[in-house]
Amino acid sequence: MRLLISFAALFLSVILLQLSSSGVGPLDVLSGTVLGFSNGQIGLLGSAHFFGFFIGCWWAPRLIGAVGHSRGFAVCTALGAIGLLAHMLIINPYAWAAMRVLTGLCIAGAYTVIEAWLQAKASNENRGRTLGIYRMVDTGSQVVAQLMIGLLAPASYVSYNLLALLCCAALLPLTLTRLKQPEAQGAPRLRPGLAWRLSPLAALGVVVAGLSSASFRMTGPLYGAQVGLQPDAIGLFLASVVLGGALAQWPAGWLADRYDRRWVLIWFSAASILACAVTIAVPTLGPIGIFSAAALFGATTFPIYSISAAHAHDWARDDQRIELSAALMFCFAIGAIVAPLTTSALITAYGPAALFYFVSAAHVGLIVFGVVRMRRRASSDTRQPYIWIPRTSFGVGRLFRRSDKDGPSP
């Protein structure tokens, strides 16, 4: 309890940020549909978010070094609030895409500050518990944010104003905390080729994780609307995916720490293809069938990132781990930027099921590539513990990889 109280301000900021940032994606999809945006324009909004996320990951450490953590956090949340408030002032999909760049930048920059603070203040004795609470708070807030969709009216100034208020409110706990802000650390060098050089399979696995996650998060509401779900049911649909993904991390970690991670990755990809097939088949079974299929989809696709990251770190030296984490995040961002535009175009051309055909095709490619790589190289002699890694900032590797030295985190 004392641990929770000492980090309460940081965790409260995480909750408020997630409620704001995770709510805007599905709200944009539903609002764009009401306002007559094309599927391609709606997909552009999702891609713009991850483009802003990538810029924020790269820029935030430099901003913090220049102005400090508290001011850097204030800058990022202000940009996010501006992006949210401007939505109903300019009804144009391309203007909205620019606003989503700001919200993506906000979430990456704000999480860079929060994770730097956690890294500096967590001790060897409480690091595992701290990271466990952090993941629980982050994931639980994502689930609640998806459920909020049933309460937010599409294309409404009030809805976007509420999300902007939550974004602004995230400023209060962190800026009022008595915790001394940490010293600014140098930003990790971004070397995208490092991931491919150490493990081509891990690099491709992270790209596929980005394709799968972003496809569903950013165009999933479009799919839900086209199969007949109401806005409140769409919220449950999206929350089922996040919850399924969170619950699967523990068995995924157990498997990845005991068996060849390449086989674990291949079998999770195969299960993802099965989940896509089930999701395509169940709309006729009603909402319960759709929610169950969504949870299965999340359970099979969400662990792909952490399994791939663990496999990559098996091949890395200790002095490469932070830069490797940044390189893997870059690969994830590439897949996440491409996915919404591609899936929205496919849904327009071939119907809602095309979303899952696209994800299945990506996982087929990953399976084939995994088998080829297993024939070319044996597994690593060293193994790093599996860690459930949030995709929040380039600096997350510094926070979570430091915990390896203290033993696996829960």
By percentage, how much of the chain surpasses pLDDT 90? 38
Give the pLDDT band (50/70/90) at residue 392.
low
Q: Compute the distance between CA of residue 379 and CA of residue 370 in angstroms, rounded to an integer.
A: 12
Judge whether 55 and 223 are in contact, CB under 8 Å: no
> pLDDT tens digit string along 328-344?
888 888 999 999 999 98
Of all residues in the chain, what percent carry a pLDDT higher than 70?
Answer: 86
Alpha-carbon span 352 to 283, nearest angstrom: 11
pLDDT at 362: 95
Tokens 């994931």 correspond to what residue? 139
Q: What is the pLDDT of residue 398?
A: 59
Higher pLDDT, 33 or 377: 33
pLDDT in tens, 100-135: 999 999 988 888 888 777 777 766 666 666 777 777
The closest alpha carbon to 24, from 88, 117, 94, belongs to: 88
pLDDT at position 407 over 50:
no
Give 37-69 pLDDT, tens digit per residue: 998 999 999 999 999 988 888 888 788 878 888
Q: In this structure, which amino acid lies at residue 42?
A: I
Contact 313, 384 (CB under 8 A): yes
Give residues with Cβ within 8 angstroms of 251, minimum separation 6.
none
| Nearest CA among 99, 16, 33, 45 for reference residue 234 | 33
Mean pLDDT over the full length of the chain: 84
Mean pLDDT of 67-93: 92
Residue 408 pLDDT class (50, 70, 90 cuts): very low
pLDDT of residue 371: 93
Q: What is the pLDDT of residues 221-271, one digit of tens each?
A: 888 888 888 878 888 998 999 899 888 888 888 888 888 889 999 999 999
Paired tokens of 311: 């496999």
Residue 301 has pLDDT above 50, yes or no: yes
